[in-house]
Structure 1
Amino acid sequence: MDVVLLLLNVVTIVFITTTMFAAGLGSTVNALTAVATDVPLLLLALLVNIGLVPLIAWALGILLHLNAAAFIALVLVAASPGGPFGAKLATMQHGDATTGAAMQVLLAAVGSVSFAPVANIVIRAAGIAEGFTLDVGALIRTVALLQLVPFAIGLLVRHTRPEIADRWQLRTAALSNATFLAVLAGMLAGNWQQIAALLGSRTILAGIVLTAATCVVGTLLATGPVPRRTTMGGVAATRNVGPALTAVGLAFHNDPAILGALAGIFVTSMVVSVPAAAVLGRRRHPPDAAEHSANEP
Structure 2
Amino acid sequence: MDSALTTVGLPLALGIIMFGLGLSLTADDFRRVRRQPRAVAIALVCQLLVLPLVCFGLVVVLDLDPLLGIGMLLLAASPGGTSANLFSHLFHGDVALNVTLTAINSVIAIFSLPVITNLAIAYYDRQDSVSLQFSKVVEVFAIVLVPVLLGMLVRSARPGFAGAAERPVRIGSAAVLAILVIGILVDQREQVGEYVGDVGLATGLFCAASLVIGYVVPKAFGVTAAQAIASSMEIGVHNATLAIYIAVEVLDSTEVSVPAAVYSIFMFVFATLWGHAISRRVAREPA
Query: Highest Rg: 1 or 2?
Result: 1
Aligned length: 281
**Match of residue 223 from structure 2:** 224
Distance 1:251 1:7, change over 3 A: closer
CA contact (8 A) 1:73 1:262 kept: yes
- What is the alpha-carbon distance in structure 1 between the residues aligned to residue 252 and residue 159 of structure 2? 41
**Match of residue 44 from structure 1:** 42
Shift of 1:55: 1.5
2:28 maps to which of 27, 30, 36: 30
Where do residues 98-137 of structure 1 align in structure 2 (5 Å cutoff)?
98-124=96-122, 126-127=123-124, 129=126, 131=128, 134-137=131-134
- What is the alpha-carbon distance in structure 2 between the residues aligned to residue 280 and residue 46 of structure 1? 21
Alpha-carbon RMSD:
2.5
Residue 172 of structure 2 aligns with an amino acid whose one-letter code is L
TM-score by length of 2: 0.86
Query: Which structure 2 residue ranges, 5 or more long, are not aligned?
Result: none
Distance 1:36 1:18, change over 3 A: farther
- What is the alpha-carbon distance in structure 2 between the residues aligned to residue 285 and residue 219 of structure 1? 15
CA contact (8 A) 2:78 2:239 kept: yes
Distance 1:44 1:134, change over 3 A: farther
> SS where residue 191 of structure 2 aligns?
helix
Where do residues 25-104 of structure 1 align in structure 2 (5 Å cutoff)?
25-35=23-33, 37-104=35-102
Where do residues 102-181 of structure 1 align in structure 2 (5 Å cutoff)?
102-124=100-122, 126-127=123-124, 129=126, 131=128, 134-181=131-178
**Match of residue 190 from structure 1:** 187
Which deviations, in whole Å up to 9, do the C-alpha atoms of 1:158-203 show, x marking residues without a partner?
A: 123212323443443343333222222212222233222234x241
Distance 1:221 1:36, change over 3 A: farther
Shift of 1:45: 2.2
- What is the alpha-carbon distance in structure 1 between the residues aligned to residue 176 and residue 188 of structure 2? 18
State the identity %.
Answer: 21
After the TM superposition, which parts of structure 1 deviate over 4 Å for at least 4 consecutive aligned residues? Answer: 130-133, 282-286
Distance 1:89 1:188, change over 3 A: same
1:212 maps to which of 208, 211, 216: 208
- What is the alpha-carbon distance in structure 2 between the residues aligned to residue 112 and residue 118 of structure 1? 11
Query: Which structure 1 residue ranges, 5 or more long, are not aligned?
Result: 287-297
After alignment, is 84-93 or 244-253 more displaced? 244-253
> SS where residue 277 of structure 1 aligns?
helix
CA contact (8 A) 2:82 2:170 kept: no
**Match of residue 245 from structure 2:** 246
- What is the alpha-carbon distance in structure 2 between the residues aligned to residue 50 and residue 139 of structure 1? 21
- What is the alpha-carbon distance in structure 1 between the residues aligned to residue 249 and residue 214 of structure 2? 30
Shift of 1:82: 1.6
Shift of 1:73: 1.4
After alignment, is 231-240 or 266-275 more displaced? 266-275
Which deviations, in whole Å up to 9, do the C-alpha atoms of 1:41-74 show, x marking residues without a partner?
A: 2222222212221121111111111111221111
> SS where residue 31 of structure 2 aligns?
helix
Distance 1:285 1:44, change over 3 A: closer
**Match of residue 275 from structure 2:** 277
Shift of 1:225: 0.7
CA contact (8 A) 2:19 2:148 kept: yes
TM-score by length of 1: 0.83
Residue 231 of structure 1 aligns with an amino acid whose one-letter code is A
Residue 243 of structure 1 aligns with an amino acid whose one-letter code is L
Where do residues 3-14 of structure 1 align in structure 2 (5 Å cutoff)?
4-14=2-12
Residue 237 of structure 2 aligns with an amino acid whose one-letter code is T
- What is the alpha-carbon distance in structure 1 between the residues aligned to residue 260 and residue 60 of structure 2? 17
